[in-house]
A and B are shown apart, each in its own frame.
Chain A
Amino acid sequence: MTFEYLEDVAIADLAFRAEADSIEELFEVAAEAVSNSMTDLSTVRPAVTRVIQLEAESLDHLLFDFLAEIVYLKDSETLIFARFETKITRNESCRLRAEMLGERIDRGRHELRQDVKAITLHMFALEKTDSRWSATIVLDV
Chain B
Amino acid sequence: MMKKDGYRVERTGDYQFEIPTTEKEGMRVPAQIYASDKLFKEMDLGVLNQITNVACLPGIVRAALCMPDGHWGYGFPIGGVAAFDKEEGVISPGGIGFDINCGMRLLTTNMTFEDVKPRLEELVENLFRKVPAGLGGTGFLRLSASEFRDVVERGVGWCIENGYGWEEDRERIEDFGCIEGADSAKVSSKAISRGLKQLGTLGSGNHYLEIQLVTADNIYDKDVAERLGFNMDNQVVIMFHCGSRGFGHQVATDYLRVFERAARKYGITVRDRELACAPFNSPEGQDYYKAMACAANNAFANRQVITHMLRKAVSETFKTSPEDLGLHVVYDVCHNIAKVEKYRVDGEERELVIHRKGATRSLGPGAQQIPPMYRDIGQPVIIGGSMETGSYVLMGTKKAEEKTFGSTAHGSGRTMSRTKAKRLVRGDRLLRKLKQRGIYIRAASMSGLAEEAGFAYKNISEVVDVVHQAGISRKIVGLRPIGNIKG
Contact = CB atoms under 8 A, between A and B. Distances in A.
Nearest to A107: B136
Q: Chain A contact residues (Cβ within 8 angstroms of B): what range? A: 35 or more
Interface of A is mostly: loop
Nearest to B445: A112
Contact of B418 (A14, A64, A71, A122): A14
Contacts of B415: 11
A113 B74 contact: no
Contacts of A38: 135
Among B44, B72, B193, the one with the most A-chain Cβ atoms within 10 Å of its Cβ is B72
Contacts, number: 144
Interface string A28-53: 00000000001100000000000000
A16 to B, nearest CB: 9
B238 to A, nearest CB: 22
A49 to B, nearest CB: 20
B252 interface: yes
Interface string B266-294: 00000011101000000000000000000
Nearest to A120: B74
Contacts of B138: 78
Interface in B71-108: 71-75, 78, 94, 97-99
Contact of A76 (B73, B190, B274): B190
A10 B46 contact: yes
Interface in A104-141: 105, 107, 110-115, 117-124, 138, 140-141
Contacts of B257: 61, 64-65
Interface in A1-38: 5-15, 38
Contacts of A63: none
Contacts of B136: 74, 78, 80, 105, 107, 110, 112, 115
Nearest to B358: A12
Contacts of B55: none
B364 to A, nearest CB: 29
A74 B203 CA distance: 12
A114 B135 contact: yes
Contacts of A114: 135, 204-205, 445, 447-448
Contact of B98 (A8, A11, A14, A118): A118
A72 B448 contact: no
A98 interface: no
Interface in B236-260: 245-246, 249-250, 252-253, 256-257, 260
Contact of A122 (B193, B253, B273, B420): B273
A129 to B, nearest CB: 21
B359 to A, nearest CB: 14
A75 interface: yes
A141 B205 contact: yes
Among A75, A111, A114, the one with the most B-chain Cβ atoms within 10 Å of its Cβ is A75
A24 B203 CA distance: 32
A13 B46 CA distance: 12
Given A61-B257, A118-B253, A11 B46 contact: yes
Interface in A58-112: 61, 64-65, 68, 71-72, 74-76, 78, 80, 105, 107, 110-112
Given A11-B415, A11-B416, A115 B274 contact: no
A86 to B, nearest CB: 20
Contacts of B469: none
Contacts of B303: none
A40 to B, nearest CB: 10
Nearest to A75: B246
B253 A10 contact: no
Given A6-B419, A141-B205, 6 more contacts: A14-B417, A71-B249, A72-B194, A75-B245, A107-B134, A122-B273
Interface of A: 5-15, 38-39, 61, 64-65, 68, 71-72, 74-76, 78, 80, 105, 107, 110-115, 117-124, 138, 140-141
22 contacts: A8-B417, A11-B415, A11-B417, A15-B417, A68-B253, A72-B190, A75-B194, A110-B135, A110-B136, A113-B135, A114-B205, A114-B445, A115-B203, A118-B249, A121-B260, A121-B274, A121-B276, A122-B74, A122-B75, A122-B273, A138-B74, A140-B97
